[in-house]
Structure 1
């Protein structure tokens, strides 16, 4: 349709080229701290400060494994919302699916 636009997001420039994109914007990866902030906002929604203190060390390790990718940090945080204890969080940290 004339005047319409399509936004394509990808971490592979070759995909953008195949889509014949007019403008390619290369975004920088997030810092470890920013990944942690995104993940923790989602993961700790509705939790107590005590819960946060118990889980924060594992959560930071999980955030670091997301390698600066904002969607991965957000998705991890949402996944962790339903995980209650250290063992469940440790399972997420150790899961090979994130490699």
Structure 2
């Protein structure tokens, strides 16, 4: 959810479409995410996975934004460690963030 909020607030006009199903650690059900032009709908859990592949799958259609940036942003939220890329806690608990402003 925070991934979508950050993407929408910072780059919403450049995200033409986003949709996907996300595997959440500790939850056996897939989370559905989708949005158009910076408007993201409330995520919801499906009753079951559509097939035997229980991996996260996200499709993003962008205008004027490098797709690698979106991949790195998602990887950070998924805590996939990479050099020169912030992890989830760095993005969520940034000591330089303005108090009361949530991404």
With structure 2 as the length reference, what TM-score do the two structures score? 0.24
More strand by share: 2
The structure that has the greater radius of gyration is: 1
More helix by share: 1
